[in-house]
């Protein structure tokens, strides 16, 4: 019943609007305004273009402070400072261009609105002007390109330092997992055909290097030491995105990708900086990957180097907490008695 009444009400309003519309049309024809070129509508529209622009800019100015409160905190990685700086410098430049060009556009629209008896100036071209406004953007853009190339090169094309911590981040629908190379600082090789419900990484345990790899539930990073991320996916595309570290790189099935960065602020320090005792660094997915795309979260913890080293040494290798699985895997793929014994010894010690 209520719905019916609402429906009728809406219908009535639409009917009234329609009648007003018809009436207005008739009045216009009677007055003959539709044949005139200089109408009040022309002046109103001209005025509104400029007025709305000014109101819009003032509103953006007014709310800017409030909105900027939610910006990400200071970058927690070294390269993030470079890109943030470049971002804000470029933003300042484009803001000026945005404001000036839009203002001129709307001002001209207002200033040169139609007036009976006025004549527009026949001004078809001016090559000097064209050259000026080709060359100036070209110079500005060249400077920006050079700055961008330098920054990009520093981030993406630098060599991996000896002391870099290697971590493997692996994505699947819809979770992240992270693997550390363990004592030997070397990952056990993997093959997607070896993946099963237990061995999510598809690690080949017949290889020595695999036995000390460990798989914590969060990503732990040392402050001040370069971290080399090896990134892969097992099903569809994902993307490693650590907003606080200004870091993003796709995870591609069948192709390992990588990212080298250096964390500069520990979780505790960031908690103090943001005044939020609950603050945590996060890893998110930014390549559409299906139903759970929006929920692929993993926590990241940045520790002081010593704390990190202690934590690293305390970790139990995955193979040790899954001895039976590893044994079976080794036996299935041909015997490697030496490895088996080593595993047994390690467990008992």
Partner 1 sequence: MEANTEQAVAHAHDVHHDHEHHEGNFITTYVFSQDHKMIARQFLITGLLWALIGGGLSIVFRLQLGFPEMDMSFLEPFFGKWIVDGKMDPEFYLAAVTMHGTIMVFFLLTAGLSGTFSNLLIPLQIGARDMASPFLNMLSYWAFFLSSVFMFISLFLETGPASGGWVIYPPLSALPQAMSGSGLGMTLWLIAMALFIASVLLGGINYISTVINMRTRGMSFGRMPLTIWAFFITAIIALLSFPVLFAAALLLIFDRSFGTSFFLSDIYIGGEALQHVGGSPLLFQHLFWFLGHPEVYIIILPALGLASEVIATNSRKPIFGYKAMIGSMLAIALLSFIVWAHHMFVTGMNPFLGSVFMLLTLIIAIPSAVKAFNYITTLWKGNIVFTPGMLFAIGLVSLFISGGVTGIILGNSALDIQLHDTYYVVAHFHLVMGASAFFGMMAGVYHWFPKLFGRMLDERLGYIHFWMTFIGVYLVFFPMHYLGISGFPRRYYSFTNFDAFQGYVELNEFISLAAIMAFIGQLIFGFNFFYSMFRGRLAPKNPWRSNTIEWTTERFPGHGNWKGEIPAVYRWPYDYSKPGAAEDFIPQTTPLSETPESNLPEEQEQVDREKGAPADGEAINL
**Considering the complex, what minimum distance in angstroms separates the CB of residue 310 from partner 1?**
26
**Considering the complex, what minimum distance in angstroms separates the CB of residue 275 from partner 1?**
14
**Considering the complex, what minimum distance in angstroms separates the CB of residue 85 from partner 1?**
10
Is the CB of 29 or the CB of 58 nearer to partner 1? Answer: 29
**Considering the complex, what minimum distance in angstroms separates the CB of residue 302 from partner 1?**
15
Q: How many CA atoms lie within 13 A of 259 on its CB side?
A: 22
* Inter-helix orientation angle 78-111/127-156, to 10°: 160
Phi, psi of 343 (to 5 degrees): -60, -45
* Inter-helix orientation angle 78-111/40-68, to 10°: 160
Is the CB of 214 or the CB of 281 nearer to partner 1? Answer: 281
Is residue 245 exposed (0-12), middle (13-18) or buried (19+ Cβ within 10 Å)?
Answer: buried
**Considering the complex, what minimum distance in angstroms separates the CB of residue 179 from partner 1?**
16
Is the CB of 133 or the CB of 342 nearer to partner 1? Answer: 133
CA angle centred on 194, ends 190 and 199, rounded to 5°: 85
Cα–Cα distance for residue pair 133/100, rounded to 1 Å: 14
Is the CB of 233 or the CB of 330 nearer to partner 1? Answer: 233
How far are the Cα atoms of 223, 267, 269 from residue 304, in angstroms, in the given order? Answer: 5, 9, 10
Is the CB of 126 or the CB of 337 nearer to partner 1? Answer: 126
**Considering the complex, what minimum distance in angstroms separates the CB of residue 313 from partner 1?**
29
Is the CB of 116 or the CB of 306 nearer to partner 1? Answer: 116
How far are the Cα atoms of 82, 280, 281 from residue 277, in angstroms, in the given order? Answer: 27, 9, 12
**Considering the complex, what minimum distance in angstroms separates the CB of residue 272 from partner 1?**
16
Residue 178: asked if its preceding bond is cis (omega within 30°), the reply is: no
How far are the Cα atoms of 241, 260, 267, 268 from residue 281, in angstroms, in the given order? Answer: 11, 17, 7, 10
Cα–Cα distance for residue pair 327/342, rounded to 1 Å: 11
Do the beta carbons of residue 267 and residue 281 sit within 8 Å?
A: yes
Is the CB of 8 or the CB of 52 nearer to partner 1? Answer: 52
Is the CB of 56 or the CB of 161 nearer to partner 1? Answer: 56
Cα–Cα distance for residue pair 96/75, rounded to 1 Å: 25
**Considering the complex, what minimum distance in angstroms separates the CB of residue 146 from partner 1?**
10
Q: Which residues, other chains included, contact 131 with Cβ-Cβ below 8 Å and sequence gap of 6+?
A: none
Structure tokens belonging to residue 20: 């007003």
């Amino acid at each position: 019943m209520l719905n019916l009444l609402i429906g009728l009400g809406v219908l009535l309003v639409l009917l009234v609007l329609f009648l007003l519309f018809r009436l207005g049309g008739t009045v216009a024809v009677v007055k003959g305004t539709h044949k005139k070129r200089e109408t009040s509508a022309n002046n109103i529209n001209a005025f509104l273009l400029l007025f709305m622009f000014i109101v819009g800019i003032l509103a953006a100015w007014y709310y800017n402070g409030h909105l900027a409160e939610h910006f990400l905190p200071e970058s927690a990685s070294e390269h993030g400072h470079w890109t943030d700086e470049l971002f804000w410098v470029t933003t300042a430049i484009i803001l000026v261009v945005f404001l000036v060009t839009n203002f001129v556009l709307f001002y001209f629209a207002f200033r040169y609105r139609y007036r009976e008896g006025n004549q527009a100036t026949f001004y078809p071209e001016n090559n000097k002007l064209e050259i000026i406004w080709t060359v100036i953007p070209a110079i500005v853009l060249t400077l920006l390109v050079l700055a961008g190339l330098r920054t990009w090169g520093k981030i993406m094309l630098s060599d991996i330092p000896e002391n870099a911590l290697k971590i493997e981040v692996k994505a699947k629908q819809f979770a992240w997992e992270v693997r550390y190379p363990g004592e030997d600082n070397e990952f056990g090789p993997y093959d997607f055909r070896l993946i099963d419900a237990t061995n999510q990484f598809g690690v080949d345990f017949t290889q020595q290097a695999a036995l000390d790899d460990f798989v914590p539930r969060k990503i732990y990073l040392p402050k001040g030491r370069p971290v080399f991320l090896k990134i892969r996916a097992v099903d569809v595309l994902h993307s490693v995105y650590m907003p606080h570290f200004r870091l993003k790189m796709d995870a591609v099935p069948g192709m390992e990708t990588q990212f080298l960065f250096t964390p500069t602020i520990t979780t505790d320090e960031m908690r103090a900086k943001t005044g939020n005792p609950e603050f945590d660094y996060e890893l998110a997915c930014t390549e559409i990957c299906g139903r759970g795309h929006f929920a692929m979260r993993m926590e990241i913890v940045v520790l002081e180097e010593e704390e990190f080293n202690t934590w690293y040494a305390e970790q139990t290798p995955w193979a040790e907490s899954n001895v039976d699985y590893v044994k079976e895997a080794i036996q299935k793929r041909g015997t490697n008695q030496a490895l088996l014994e080593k595993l047994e010894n390690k467990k008992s010690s």
